[in-house]
A and B are shown apart, each in its own frame.
Chain A
């Protein structure tokens, strides 16, 4: 009886540890595997490449972490990337200065995010349904903006965004890291962060504690939309083109996986920023590893599916004693 109890305690403890730290362990394992099995892996180039590919994923995942922290989900991030990219292309081809074009693109993301937030908070539509609508409609809007086809963009600044480095670290990674620090600060130190976690932890109690629940939700979705738009701008610069049919495609799934793998609870009330960043790096590195090893597409998809299932299993709510 006591051994069983001890055993159970151990298992709960292991589950809790895995939930919090599993992502770091998994990243370590993957790095070790690559060091042994992938040619030319342990080089500065490899890290630089990873850090130039992963920032859009990190940036979108940061916003997603906040939304999931409120107990919601934002399926529209990929389409918002496409909208931002399309708006960017429209302004650049229309002759606007690149700074204006980028601001317009980010503002478009903010706008869509606010719309999501209003639908979720005021109309009280379930987040998954509200943002699914934008997932579908958003890409259509992006296609309408560019007239459908890929638009090549020749903007000198894009080269800096793609290739610029500071002390060997790509600019885009520095941007992603700064955003991660900012979001982490937001969650830990601001009243908004408290409210976000409270709403995710117990919405009814938050209302009765007098918190501005609706405003909090609108702001959270607005942040998610804005960050997705920033990621859309970076992805556009990386490609030197706006391709609204494909940019950010399936990004919502990648971001949700990164967030959940990183230890944020899908039921809300808990947000892990460092875990999210690590989760994003883990997923990008996993994809890179599979590509490096010439894994067939079908295998890659199965591996990704397994990771998602494992992450969700680990993050499942502890069974209550009743």
Chain B
């Protein structure tokens, strides 16, 4: 066993008391591609930022070629030979490819830039990596894939011994992905240690030697790709051990019999180029429909489309038989649809406002008479929901940003509930909140459904979807893989669906490779 180029041991990091990473260790070896996978919030980017000096460790250590290091900035990490390639290319799009290639280490001649040499040397270097590009053109004029590869080639040319790629293919065309993976193979041959962060499983299996799975800031497993099946990988990402899963069936007790009433929500044949492909979600009164899939599968996008926040190319959406027309959240709210957004901070809370004002916001039209807000009615409704959802705060006038994650989430739920919606779309209702609050929220969802509301539930925790849903729509790459009902709703079956689709795709692409 060779000494790892870079070893992270027992790394832990908290933000404002919230665990972001706990006791995670990984080793990177020269000439090896190490995949880092996990859902949102698993700790992938925290780990990368700890390695590259963006964040400092709370505890644990980072060792580079056996020596302990602590980078105080990304710059010093770069100088030590650790290069990071982000989804967006962090170079200067107006400058030529050659200028970018030499950015920060330009050769000079008599004190001025030696453009000739820059053009010649960069062209040679890029050719070595199989990258065909006119080095005199501005970088921004090239395709994203080529830009990405110029960034990578540049990193390697600066003698990087560790290259970290954070979702490098997320905005690339399939053809560009192939080129990029070729480049990864070349780097590997040059004995570079590579970290490959991606949620695209086929790429991970094609390109990586080792796979490390993170979940909720903890290390789930790390091991050679060859010893892992797609099925196992999916189950580790989504939250259950494979062995444990085999035992588990449906865990929600007493799944209710639903009357065959007219569906409350009918969202059918939703299409949006490159994002959604013929997805249909139908929810009857009192039903909870789960949307399951990996990150990027289109689960959040489906909810947003139903809520009018993602414009559709085509699709029919109706509530209680009435077709919805205007694609705006405001009109959907008027028609009885409410959505809890995925990103609480960016899309939900108004941080400077009080709890009271955050709750009352969406229901303002009902709380207002001729333009004036009725304080009493707001106070009443706020009081009701703070009690009912057990929101813990010093007073309704406390700033919402001072609350814990769980209480913030309850504030947002209260905002939706005082609208008295017919359809409730919940995107990750329990993410980032503590166990107690999580149980309360889950119980609340069940209760709301029992009262006849139509609920769509999205969670990256498969367990939550399985336990909380009456039927489940499984998605992958924006397309619907299947719909499970009743006893068929098991984590097992969901993961089978996702894995089958994944392997089909990989077989297909392998076939294309072979035909070449």
Does B15 interact with chain A (Cβ within 8 Å)?
yes
Q: Sort chain A's interface into a size bin.
A: 20 to 34
In the complex the two chains form, what is the Cα distance from A209 to B346 in whole Å?
12
Q: Which of chain A's residues 201-215 have a Cβ closer than 8 Å to chain B?
A: 201-202, 204-212
> Are B361 and A194 closer than 8 Å at their CB atoms?
yes
The 8 Å CB contact of B364, one of A189, A194, A321, is: A194
> Which of A198, A269, A321 is most buried by chain B, counting CB atoms within 10 A of its CB?
A198
With contact pairs A189-B372, A198-B353 given, residues A205 and B365 touching in the complex (Cβ less than 8 Å)? no
Total contacting residues, chain B, CB less than 8 A: 32
Does A319 interact with chain B (Cβ within 8 Å)?
no
A68 to chain B minimum Cβ distance, whole angstroms, is 13
- Smallest CB gap from B338: residue in A: A210
- Smallest CB gap from B348: residue in A: A205
Question: Which residues from chain B contact A162 at a C-beta distance below 8 Å?
Answer: none
Question: Which residues from chain B contact A209 at a C-beta distance below 8 Å?
Answer: 329, 333, 361-362, 415
A227 to chain B minimum Cβ distance, whole angstroms, is 19
Does B98 interact with chain A (Cβ within 8 Å)?
no
Q: Which of chain A's residues 123-140 have a Cβ closer than 8 Å to chain B?
A: none
With contact pairs A208-B309, A210-B330, A211-B330 given, residues A198 and B347 touching in the complex (Cβ less than 8 Å)? no
With contact pairs A189-B372, A270-B352 given, residues A204 and B347 touching in the complex (Cβ less than 8 Å)? yes
Q: Which of chain B's residues 8-46 have a Cβ closer than 8 Å to chain A?
A: 15-16
- Smallest CB gap from B401: residue in A: A201
> Are B329 and A202 closer than 8 Å at their CB atoms?
no
A213 to chain B minimum Cβ distance, whole angstroms, is 9
The 8 Å CB contact of B329, one of A190, A201, A208, A270, is: A208
The 8 Å CB contact of B352, one of A207, A211, A269, is: A269
Q: Which of chain A's residues 31-51 have a Cβ closer than 8 Å to chain B?
A: none
The 8 Å CB contact of A201, one of B307, B351, B364, is: B351
> Which of A197, A209, A322 is most buried by chain B, counting CB atoms within 10 A of its CB?
A209
In the complex the two chains form, what is the Cα distance from A43 to B357 in whole Å?
45
Question: Which residues from chain B contact A202 at a C-beta distance below 8 Å?
Answer: 346, 349-351
Does B368 interact with chain A (Cβ within 8 Å)?
yes
In the complex the two chains form, what is the Cα distance from A202 to B400 in whole Å?
13
> Are A191 and B368 closer than 8 Å at their CB atoms?
yes
> Are A269 and B309 closer than 8 Å at their CB atoms?
no
Question: Which residues from chain A contact B349 at a C-beta distance below 8 Å?
Answer: 202, 205
In the complex the two chains form, what is the Cα distance from A197 to B341 in whole Å?
20
Q: Which of chain A's residues 172-214 have a Cβ closer than 8 Å to chain B?
A: 189-195, 197-198, 201-202, 204-212
> Which of B15, B350, B360, B364 is most buried by chain A, counting CB atoms within 10 A of its CB?
B350
Does B332 interact with chain A (Cβ within 8 Å)?
yes
The 8 Å CB contact of A197, one of B334, B353, B368, B372, is: B353
> Which of A195, A204, A265 is most buried by chain B, counting CB atoms within 10 A of its CB?
A204
> Are A201 and B352 closer than 8 Å at their CB atoms?
yes
In the complex the two chains form, what is the Cα distance from A265 to B352 in whole Å?
10
A130 to chain B minimum Cβ distance, whole angstroms, is 23
Question: Which residues from chain A contact B352 at a C-beta distance below 8 Å?
Answer: 197, 201, 265, 269-270
With contact pairs A191-B371, A198-B353 given, residues A321 and B329 touching in the complex (Cβ less than 8 Å)? no
> Are A201 and B309 closer than 8 Å at their CB atoms?
no
With contact pairs A191-B364, A201-B350 given, residues A210 and B341 touching in the complex (Cβ less than 8 Å)? no
Does B163 interact with chain A (Cβ within 8 Å)?
no
In the complex the two chains form, what is the Cα distance from A192 to B368 in whole Å?
10
Question: Which residues from chain B contact A204 at a C-beta distance below 8 Å?
Answer: 346-347
Q: Which of chain B's residues 301-355 have a Cβ closer than 8 Å to chain A?
A: 307, 309, 329-330, 332-334, 339, 341, 346-353
The 8 Å CB contact of B353, one of A189, A191, A201, A210, is: A201
Question: Which residues from chain A contact B347 at a C-beta distance below 8 Å?
Answer: 204-205, 208
Does B373 interact with chain A (Cβ within 8 Å)?
yes
> Which of B15, B330, B339, B367 is most buried by chain A, counting CB atoms within 10 A of its CB?
B330
In the complex the two chains form, what is the Cα distance from A212 to B365 in whole Å?
11
A182 to chain B minimum Cβ distance, whole angstroms, is 13
The 8 Å CB contact of A189, one of B348, B373, B415, is: B373
Question: Which residues from chain A contact B15 at a C-beta distance below 8 Å?
Answer: 321-322
> Which of B351, B361, B367, B373 is most buried by chain A, counting CB atoms within 10 A of its CB?
B361
The 8 Å CB contact of B371, one of A192, A205, A210, A322, is: A192
> Are A210 and B350 closer than 8 Å at their CB atoms?
no
> Are A205 and B373 closer than 8 Å at their CB atoms?
no
- Smallest CB gap from B368: residue in A: A191
> Are A205 and B309 closer than 8 Å at their CB atoms?
no
> Are B415 and A191 closer than 8 Å at their CB atoms?
no
With contact pairs A202-B349, A208-B348 given, residues A190 and B361 touching in the complex (Cβ less than 8 Å)? no
Question: Which residues from chain B contact A197 at a C-beta distance below 8 Å?
Answer: 350, 352-353, 357
Q: Which of chain A's residues 46-102 have a Cβ closer than 8 Å to chain B?
A: none
In the complex the two chains form, what is the Cα distance from A189 to B309 in whole Å?
29
Question: Which residues from chain B contact A269 at a C-beta distance below 8 Å?
Answer: 350-353
> Are B309 and A194 closer than 8 Å at their CB atoms?
no
In the complex the two chains form, what is the Cα distance from A191 to B339 in whole Å?
21
Question: Which residues from chain B contact A201 at a C-beta distance below 8 Å?
Answer: 350-353
In the complex the two chains form, what is the Cα distance from A207 to B352 in whole Å?
17
Q: Which of chain A's residues 263-322 have a Cβ closer than 8 Å to chain B?
A: 265, 269-270, 321-322
A124 to chain B minimum Cβ distance, whole angstroms, is 15
Q: Which of chain B's residues 358-394 have a Cβ closer than 8 Å to chain A?
A: 360-362, 364-365, 367-368, 371-373, 375
B41 to chain A minimum Cβ distance, whole angstroms, is 15
In the complex the two chains form, what is the Cα distance from A197 to B353 in whole Å?
8
The 8 Å CB contact of B339, one of A190, A208, A211, A321, is: A208
Question: Which residues from chain A contact B309 at a C-beta distance below 8 Å?
Answer: 207-208
Closest CB pairs A-B (n = 10): A210-B333, A201-B350, A269-B352, A210-B330, A191-B368, A209-B362, A191-B364, A201-B352, A202-B350, A210-B329
* 22 examples of A-B residue contacts, CB within 8 angstroms: A189-B375, A191-B364, A191-B365, A191-B368, A194-B360, A194-B373, A195-B364, A198-B350, A198-B361, A201-B350, A201-B351, A204-B346, A205-B347, A206-B350, A206-B361, A207-B329, A208-B329, A209-B362, A209-B415, A210-B332, A211-B330, A321-B16
Q: List 5 extra interface pairs beyond A190-B368, A190-B373, A206-B350, CB under 8 A.
A: A189-B372, A190-B372, A193-B373, A205-B348, A211-B364
Interface residues in chain B, defined as those with a beta carbon under 8 Å from any beta carbon in chain A: 15-16, 307, 309, 329-330, 332-334, 339, 341, 346-353, 357, 360-362, 364-365, 367-368, 371-373, 375, 415
Interface residues in chain A, defined as those with a beta carbon under 8 Å from any beta carbon in chain B: 189-195, 197-198, 201-202, 204-212, 265, 269-270, 321-322
